[in-house]
Amino acid sequence: MNIASKLIDYLKLSKVELKKVIWPDKKTTMNHTILVIGFSLGVAFFLGIMDRLFTILYEALLK
């Protein structure tokens, strides 16, 4: 098999596999998106607080 026929076989098999995928509905996608955004904001807030606390501690040690 040459590279062109391998590529064509790969693309055909990829198309078959994509037809087997069960895609989530819009409601599930929105719920997961909101969950990820909320979690990301929570982690960002936590890291911001920790950064501020370590900055205060570091400045106190330098005095």
Q: Where are the domains of the chain?
A: 22-63
Say what the pLDDT of residue 45 is. Answer: 99
pTM, two decimal places? 0.65
pLDDT in tens, 7-63: 999 999 999 999 999 999 999 999 999 999 999 999 999 999 999 999 999 999 998
Strands (E), 1-63: none
d(CA 51, CA 42): 14
Q: At CA 56, angle to CA 49 and CA 40, rounded to 5?
A: 15
d(CA 29, CA 44): 22
d(CA 63, CA 59): 7
